[in-house]
Structure 1
Amino acid sequence: MHVVGKALPRVDIRGKVTGEAKYTADLEPAGILHGKVVHSTIANGVVTGFDLEKALAVPGVVKIVTCFDVPDHPFPTAGHPWSVETRHQDIRDRKLLNQRVRYYGDDIAAVVAETELAAEKAARLVKVQYEEYQPIVTTEAAMREGATPLHPELRKDNVIVHSHMTMGPSDFTFEEGRKQAEEQYGADNIAVVDRVYHTPRVSHCHLELPTSWAYVETNGKITVVTSTQIPHIVRRCTAQALGVPVGQVRIIKPYIGGGFGNKQDTLYEPLNAYLSLSVGGRAVRLEISREETIVSTRTRHAIDGHCRGIVTRDGRILARQLEAYANNGAYASHGHAICANCGNVFKDLYRDEMGAEIDCWTVYTSSPTAGAMRGYGIPQSIWMAECLTDDLAYAIGADPCQFRLDNCMQAGFVDPANGITFHSYGLKKCIEAGRKHIGWDEKWENYRHQTGSVRRGVGMAIFCYKTGVHPISLETASVRMVLNQDGSIQLCMGATEIGQGADTVFTQMAAETTGITPDRIYAVSTQDTDITPFDTGAYASRQTYVSGMACKKCAEELRAKILAYAVRMLNQDGIQMEQTIYAGQVKQAVQKLQQSIGLRDGEPVSADMLDIVDNKIVVSGGEPVLFDVAEVATTAFYSLDDSRHLTAEVTNQCKDNSFASGCCFVEIEIDLPLGLVTVKDIINVHDSGTIINPQTARGQVQGGMSMGLGYGLSEELLIDEKTGRVRNDNLLDYKIPTAMDTPDLHVEFIELDDPTGPYGNKSLGEPPAIPVAPAIRNAILNATGVAMDTAPMTAQRLIAAFRQHGLI
């Protein structure tokens, strides 16, 4: 069968289009109680007391719990696999409710009431007494000598981790490289660029809010139904937060309306479980509002990068340096992993002849917590690297596209720090395809010499992205398949469908390997930690690679079992087939085998003589058809002689990785006096190995490109440095691109079979969001000669820059 590579419709399309698909809020029972979180109204300090009298008097209020009532069990929230090695465990700096306030909006109490209105009213009436400290909103303030540590029980200062890494000699320093370059080439024959680039804190803006409801079963099991990307990890974190065994917690994940990494954290599930316990196990609903989601769940890290680069006048990059400072906010969440990832890819992207020097700091501040978001530190990294690359090219008068082709990472590249390898290499083909689409060679040169208030520009950016988290962390996934009585297959994945089309590609993978057609494979979209095989979840663009390999291995095992039983039927090995309803079909099948492959009377049939194609047992090679797999399934279930339930369950521990890569090319028009950027043409070209489903892949890329447009031009969470309060915690003031802002989004794939992928595939989910913003920035540079350092490039920032450069 050739199912992989076909643009099959999504398996969940009908339910989602008609509204029949059931999400968390659709499954709530009647009579459910409603929870509401009380948030702090200071950014830094300590809760000293509460006045609950008026809140408790609200009709319908059942319970109010405060930070003084909850168990004292610090727990981590990051969606990382647990580890028996202490150094791979996440920081336990969260509690269900916090007495020590660390950001404006911290969780300090919660109300449970009979109605949502009563819960909201009571929450507003909770009076809080504080001991207030000065907010520490920026990394500079948090790292300043004498700054108050936000987590003194864990750190003497506010630096979570500082890491130093190099490419090239382990003792390489940029300053030494600069001295060596001047001595070797002469100061006149090199150019040095020294700039600071800024990336914003942004919100995920998934459509479905973080919603959960919890109850306690009659056997004492604490059950939480939740919209999450990581049900098995949420189970473990919830158990840690409550101080109960993991087996006492059950997490159910129905359909989910987006996550983009925000739901790759344990959010309010532990608190919801505790609220249910506090009211005797009754079901409690806890839906977080849009404003709460923006402030009190997770954001993308704002990372500032001081970058320097040395380039020869003939276009060779000699050395680069990055000093990155990540604003992690009030709690660790994913901790240093994201800033370290940022630094790692910065050094990997180009061949620095002398070396690269990277320093990364992740810093606690009294501001909203940053965590995982699509790209996991790489949108920030590529903004810095690709702004610097264009600035280096302009410093020597080089064509930025050719400059990248001459200096980018090469085929077979191996990261010496972790061994991740470019097993299949399509980066240069991606660049050439994008270059041709945008008409680069003519336009880039022509647009450099424009005058006037309305101008055009072309720009580009490249990226690389690993597939999964090995060897930095554990990669493991399990799959279960069951052959039903009618010959169809029940596919049970621990991997989570979060809107990205995972169930569809897993169905295609199972069909490709088993020979059962996709319409007869039923993927179970709901994950239930009591019955679903273990998988760490949807993140790191890992599922088609890691979970996909588990799916392939499981399908191979089930296929082997089906064929083995078919052999037993044909040989009547312990099965009295002449007494069954399929006796005639089996007799005819043996005759076909005798005719097609010369099987002699009495010679046993072996599995290598058979295959499964389009739900049929066939002679190996495809013809003739012997009988339907349904006949094998029915016999296996109901034979009085040899009843066997044909199932397979397989774990895949992935110990490999591979780089995906690609680029974005964009043409923009810019009205200088208005600071208005209009994207006229844009294309993403991706090397993601074999594309499992071109239709869903194209949708993934277009969605990521839209996120990149917002990241580059409009999206930024604004924090009042005096109070620590978020200024734009709603979708009116927080500006995501609308349909009116979105041009036609062009997509192209360079398909090269990757030898490590289960079907030649590698990462695709996150990369599309990565290169768009710096490509737009570089198009503005081409049009105006003005190099913007800060994203997003809003009209205000552009106008200020154009005035500074005398353009308006």
Structure 2
Amino acid sequence: MALINPAPPADSLAPERAGAARFTQVGKPVTRIDAVDKVTGRAKFTYDLLPTDHLVAKVVRSTIASGRVLSFDLDEALAEPGVVAIFTCLDEGLPTYQFASPGHPWVVDPEERGDIEDRTLMDSRVRQYGDTIGVLVAEDTVAAERALRKIKVEYEEYPVVFTYEQSQDPDYAPPIHEECPNNVQADWLTEVGVEEAGYSSMEELLHDPQYHSGSYHMRTPRQQQAHIELCLSFCYEENGQIVCVTSTQIPHIVRRVIGQALEIPWGDVRVIKPFVGGGFGNKQDVLYEPLNAWVCHKLGGRCVLLELTREEVFEQTRSRQPKDYYGEACWDDDMNLVARSCEGFSNSGGYASHGQAIIANGLGSFRFMYSGQEKACRTRALTFYSNQATAGAMRAYGVPEATWAAECMVSDIAHDMGWDGADFRAKNAIKLGYEDVTWPAPLICQSNGIQECIERGRELIGWDEKKRRYANETGPVRHGVGMSLLCYKCSVGGLELETASARMTLNQDGSVVLTLGATEIGQGCDTVMCQMCAEVLGVPVEKVHIVSTQDTNISPYGAGAYASRQTYVTGMTIKQVGAEFKAKILDYARYLKPYYNGQDLDIADSWVVDAAGRRVISLEELSTIAYYDRKRSDQIEASGTTEEDVNSFCLGACFVDVTVDIPMATVTVNQIVQVHDSGQIINPKTAEQQVHGGIAQSLGMGLYEELIEDPATGKTRNGNLLDYKIPTTMDVPDLTAEFVETWDPTGPFGNKSLGEPPCIPCAPAIRDAVLDATGVKFYEAPMTQQRLFEGFKAAGLL
């Protein structure tokens, strides 16, 4: 790992040593603190905590995609042995509060809320296949499933709105939501640089005859997160609260939404998040927890389990929003991008969920990434309702899709002009000091290792040698190399509320308990939080005990795991609270050792030391006395909250080597190299794991993964792990993950984000390699065998 611009500040936490940041705990390849518990089965997930005397709830789902429920026939279902109750959308007394389900910071002022409140617990208006029209409760799963099959429903059916064109035809079908008569949730246009470039309009610039120009249409798929653990919760009442134990990324937000949906005080709800078996954004949505909590309350507080099947997770939770992009670009003969334009249309399905935020976020990265030489850029983001399944957040929040669009354009330009794609990208990539003028608060590129990422990836893949070797292949089996860049923000700071809280408590033996709202969902968050805490306090990481389970009655507030924000934002909180905590410890040391009053003290390796580094008292001795001293007993602790408006850019480059069998219409990925600039790396071992996992997900988006729905019925056709294809160990080649370490002044330890960026660039890099091998341009992901066959045939290769 090479360290480049700029050098870190010379303070006690980050002393300069030959221009590099050196820490005692941060930057070390610490083994994940949850590794042993997870591999031995000691880690407790939601289902592991389920009481044995529980009821089972199953959602009654619509068998049409659009229409209205007219009546139910429940007689046979209620007669099934073991059935406890059936509640339907036609019952009187249902809560009617319309709530928003995405995990976003709450805004008190209704006029400033970006999330659309378009959901209720149940609704007679059906907006997607499998919509929630009722809930059945039984003594066990067998009884529940038998009874479900005996429920009869009468509907008034409407035409299925599947495309944007259908959504805009008022004569085709009634609005999906009455409060949104044109089915468009939002339509935003962002344009920068046109007047400054001396043009009256973007069209004039894009079609200036002195430049080359091109137009493009790209599509990206509905991709499912395919996490191992299903979506589930169980609820019961205790001490005047509804307790919801759930597999979620956003426990504090789940509490708020349950309170809103049930129209009860938020404090009457307690949410507990145990270990989580993956989420990738699907669990950044409040799914069925409010419904489960309401059923529990209706049944007198009895424990109720609501667990989705694998098919329900695929069909009735969230996925990437399928998108269409229409792009234009112009460029000069000197390898400079002059201007780009991209209109994106995003299909959110029957409900808004994360809605417009996703495509807007993606098109922001479209704008940032290739801003190096560009005079102007225009993006349009539009999100619409349809009767498809509701889509929402998935890892990297719209940026993989927009990067696919941006890279298709850049790849085509380089190919058509005969330019080296790496040189072209390097010349036009985002520069140090870039500032996005459309952002509400400063969004500035304050560290930038993109050129080093390109050069290192180019070297590792053998770019120049392979370009020469593969250049003249003409047979049925050909080889190619390709690449793609990535650009991703570090949080939502500057756009939305970005806050985190922490609590630190000194144990009797001198160890520390760290309690956070930041949620571990499998990404290694707890490990790096312990490293940062240990760094601030001057103790070994083994002396920090983190509370992995979030409990809204106990855990300080945290918005949750999304936006690759937790190490960046919660790290700042740990740094601030740690400084206060450390000061309290040192103050108590001076009480025990009055000789040191007025002198500088510090903590190193769990010892209080003086300015010369001499040991004064161990933390173990100090803390034991603090707990039991007759004159000044004190459980030393500190807590606090930070709010951040800062942000920055994490960057990177992906390189791939592929073999294309044209008659078989297959792509074999032989090698993938991904190099990241995520600032200072907190834990190289967990960072490498994050990159490997992200590459596999992007590989899936590029070649295999697509949820397919029937346009006539809205029903998902491949909602299971047999028919929905994800990469297996046989599909993933040897992966190389490296890091170019920059020092970012906005990060708590010079660090930037890494959670989501790894899943961005591999798919378009594969597309670029296929173009290199065959000369055939593909614009729709994934590049399945069928699409490859059709593309090769159209190009005359078959």
Q: Work out whether 1:613 is the aligned partner of 2:584.
A: no
Q: Work out whether 1:199 is the aligned partner of 2:199.
A: no
Shift of 1:638: 0.8
Shift of 1:87: 2.0
Matches within 5 A, 1:289-688: 289-351=309-371, 353-418=374-439, 419-571=442-594, 604-606=595-597, 608-622=599-613, 624-688=614-678
Shift of 1:609: 3.0
Q: Identify if the C-alpha distance between structure 1 residues 791 and 174 changes in structure 2 by more than 3 Å, giving closer, same or farther.
A: farther
CA distances 1:103-154 after superposition (whole Å, capped 9, x unpaired): 1111111111111111111112111110001111122321335343544432
CA distances 1:271-316 after superposition (whole Å, capped 9, x unpaired): 0101101111100001011110111110101111011111112211
Shift of 1:168: 1.3
Q: Identify if the C-alpha distance between structure 1 residues 607 and 656 changes in structure 2 by more than 3 Å, giving closer, same or farther.
A: farther
Counterpart Cα distance in 2 of 1:170 and 1:306: 23
Match of 1:280 in 2: 300
Counterpart Cα distance in 2 of 1:459 and 1:663: 11
Counterpart Cα distance in 1 of 2:536 and 2:416: 53
Shift of 1:172: 8.6
Counterpart Cα distance in 2 of 1:12 and 1:37: 34
CA distances 1:557-601 after superposition (whole Å, capped 9, x unpaired): 111111110011001xxxxxxxxxxxxxxxxxxxxxxxxxxxxxx
Match of 1:698 in 2: 688
Q: Do the aligned partners of 1:350 and 1:408 also contact (CA within 8 Å) in 2?
A: yes
Match of 2:136 in 1: 111
Alignment equivalent of 2:282, drawn from 262, 269, 275: 262
Q: Identify if the C-alpha distance between structure 1 residues 451 and 481 changes in structure 2 by more than 3 Å, giving closer, same or farther.
A: same
SS at 1:362 equivalent: strand
SS at 1:664 equivalent: strand
Q: Work out whether 1:5 is the aligned partner of 2:27.
A: yes
Match of 2:99 in 1: 75
SS at 1:750 equivalent: strand
SS at 1:739 equivalent: coil
Counterpart Cα distance in 2 of 1:478 and 1:721: 46
Counterpart Cα distance in 2 of 1:149 and 1:457: 49
Counterpart Cα distance in 2 of 1:285 and 1:608: 58
SS at 2:596 equivalent: coil
**Bigger shift: 695-704 or 397-406?**
397-406
Q: Do the aligned partners of 2:249 and 2:283 also contact (CA within 8 Å) in 1?
A: yes
Match of 1:271 in 2: 291
CA distances 1:533-569 after superposition (whole Å, capped 9, x unpaired): 0000000000001111111111111111111100110
SS at 2:248 equivalent: coil
Counterpart Cα distance in 1 of 2:274 and 2:199: 51
Q: Identify if the C-alpha distance between structure 1 residues 688 and 31 changes in structure 2 by more than 3 Å, giving closer, same or farther.
A: same
CA distances 1:748-784 after superposition (whole Å, capped 9, x unpaired): 1000111111111111000000000000000000000
Match of 1:53 in 2: 75
Q: Do the aligned partners of 1:476 and 1:651 also contact (CA within 8 Å) in 2?
A: yes
Q: Which amino acid aligns with 2:133?
A: I
Q: Which amino acid aligns with 2:32?
A: R
Q: Do the aligned partners of 2:537 and 2:579 also contact (CA within 8 Å) in 1?
A: yes
Q: Do the aligned partners of 1:611 and 1:621 also contact (CA within 8 Å) in 2?
A: no
Q: Do the aligned partners of 2:242 and 2:269 also contact (CA within 8 Å) in 1?
A: yes
Shift of 1:171: 9.4
Question: What TM-score do the two structures reach when normalised by structure 2?
Answer: 0.95
Shift of 1:175: 9.3
Counterpart Cα distance in 2 of 1:169 and 1:638: 70
Counterpart Cα distance in 2 of 1:491 and 1:323: 45
Q: Do the aligned partners of 1:201 and 1:299 also contact (CA within 8 Å) in 2?
A: yes
SS at 2:166 equivalent: helix
Counterpart Cα distance in 2 of 1:519 and 1:123: 51
SS at 1:441 equivalent: helix
Where structure 1 has 5 or more consecutive residues not aligned to the other structure, the ranges are 572-603
Which structure has the greater CA radius of gyration? 1
Counterpart Cα distance in 2 of 1:267 and 1:488: 38
Q: Do the aligned partners of 1:82 and 1:89 also contact (CA within 8 Å) in 2?
A: no
CA distances 1:349-374 after superposition (whole Å, capped 9, x unpaired): 11363311111110101011111110
Q: Do the aligned partners of 2:95 and 2:262 also contact (CA within 8 Å) in 1?
A: yes
Q: Do the aligned partners of 2:176 and 2:386 also contact (CA within 8 Å) in 1?
A: no
Match of 1:131 in 2: 156
Counterpart Cα distance in 2 of 1:566 and 1:121: 67
Q: Identify if the C-alpha distance between structure 1 residues 60 and 94 changes in structure 2 by more than 3 Å, giving closer, same or farther.
A: same
Q: Identify if the C-alpha distance between structure 1 residues 72 and 94 changes in structure 2 by more than 3 Å, giving closer, same or farther.
A: same
Counterpart Cα distance in 1 of 2:617 and 2:112: 56
Counterpart Cα distance in 2 of 1:466 and 1:89: 19
CA distances 1:356-393 after superposition (whole Å, capped 9, x unpaired): 11111101010111111101000001000011001111
Q: Do the aligned partners of 1:468 and 1:545 also contact (CA within 8 Å) in 2?
A: yes
Match of 2:211 in 1: 190
CA distances 1:777-804 after superposition (whole Å, capped 9, x unpaired): 0000000000101000011110111111
Q: Do the aligned partners of 2:316 and 2:389 also contact (CA within 8 Å) in 1?
A: yes
CA distances 1:484-520 after superposition (whole Å, capped 9, x unpaired): 1111111101100000011100000110011121112
Counterpart Cα distance in 2 of 1:436 and 1:409: 21
Q: Do the aligned partners of 1:466 and 1:763 also contact (CA within 8 Å) in 2?
A: yes
Match of 1:592 in 2: none
Q: Work out whether 1:32 is the aligned partner of 2:23.
A: no
Number of residue pairs the alignment of both structures matches: 770
Counterpart Cα distance in 1 of 2:593 and 2:580: 20
Matches within 5 A, 1:697-736: 697-736=687-726
**Bigger shift: 65-74 or 19-28?**
65-74
Counterpart Cα distance in 1 of 2:180 and 2:612: 65
SS at 1:761 equivalent: coil
Alignment equivalent of 1:221, drawn from 241, 260, 269: 241
Counterpart Cα distance in 1 of 2:282 and 2:611: 48
Counterpart Cα distance in 2 of 1:646 and 1:290: 47
SS at 1:238 equivalent: helix
Q: Work out whether 1:169 is the aligned partner of 2:190.
A: no
Q: Which amino acid aligns with 1:63?
A: A
Q: Do the aligned partners of 1:150 and 1:366 also contact (CA within 8 Å) in 2?
A: no
Alignment equivalent of 1:783, drawn from 762, 773, 797: 773
SS at 1:331 equivalent: coil
CA distances 1:177-209 after superposition (whole Å, capped 9, x unpaired): 4545765xxx3x532111100000010000000
Match of 1:17 in 2: 39
Q: Which amino acid aligns with 1:208?
A: E
Q: Do the aligned partners of 1:453 and 1:671 also contact (CA within 8 Å) in 2?
A: yes
SS at 1:733 equivalent: coil
Q: Work out whether 1:142 is the aligned partner of 2:162.
A: no
SS at 1:710 equivalent: helix
Q: Identify if the C-alpha distance between structure 1 residues 182 and 238 changes in structure 2 by more than 3 Å, giving closer, same or farther.
A: closer
SS at 2:153 equivalent: strand
Counterpart Cα distance in 2 of 1:495 and 1:654: 15
Counterpart Cα distance in 2 of 1:194 and 1:468: 32
Counterpart Cα distance in 2 of 1:278 and 1:88: 31
Alignment equivalent of 2:108, drawn from 84, 91, 94: 84
Q: Identify if the C-alpha distance between structure 1 residues 397 and 145 changes in structure 2 by more than 3 Å, giving closer, same or farther.
A: farther
Counterpart Cα distance in 1 of 2:793 and 2:269: 60
